[in-house]
A = this chain, B = another copy of it.
Amino acid sequence: MGKQMTEMLKGTLEGIVLAILAAQPAYGYEITARLREQGFSDIAEGTVYALLIRIEQRRLVDVEKVPSEKGPPRKVYSLNTQGKQELEEFWRTWSFLAERIEQLHHGGN
C-alpha cells in the first residue's frame, strides 16, 4: 500500500470499522475480509485486531465470544450506544474535512 494511504487511514480506519459494525455485528477476521473486498486490498490483519482491542477498551463496542466450526472462537463485536455516538462524531469530523478538501480540489482556495 502507498505510504500516503497508510497515513490517511490514521483516524479514518477506526471510523470505517465503526461504520461496518453499525450495519451489523462482526468479528475481526470477517471485518478484515470485508475491507479487502471493498478495495482496501492490503490492510494487515494485525492492524484490525489492534484497532478492535482499542475500541473495546474505550467501551465503544460490546463483545460476545461465539464458537466457530473452523478455528478458534470468534469475538463478535457490536456497536453500543457510546459507539454510535462516536460514529456520529466521526461523520461530523469527516464531513468537515471532506468539505474543505473538496473545496481545495476544485474551486482552489
Contacts and interface: CB of A to CB of B under 8 A. Distances in A.
A35 B4 CA distance: 21
Contact of A109 (B4, B20, B108): B20
Given A5-B93, A39-B100, A108 B10 contact: no
A14 B4 CA distance: 10
A14 B5 CA distance: 12
Interface of A: 2, 4-12, 14-16, 19-20, 23, 34, 38-40, 89-91, 93-94, 96-98, 100-101, 103-105, 108-109
Contact of A93 (B8, B15, B38): B8
- What is the interface of chain A mostly: helix, strand, loop, or mixed? helix
Contact of A101 (B23, B94, B96): B94
Contact of A94 (B6, B8, B89): B8
A7 B93 CA distance: 11
B11 A6 contact: yes
Contacts of A100: 16, 38-40
A8 B5 contact: no
Contacts of A14: 7
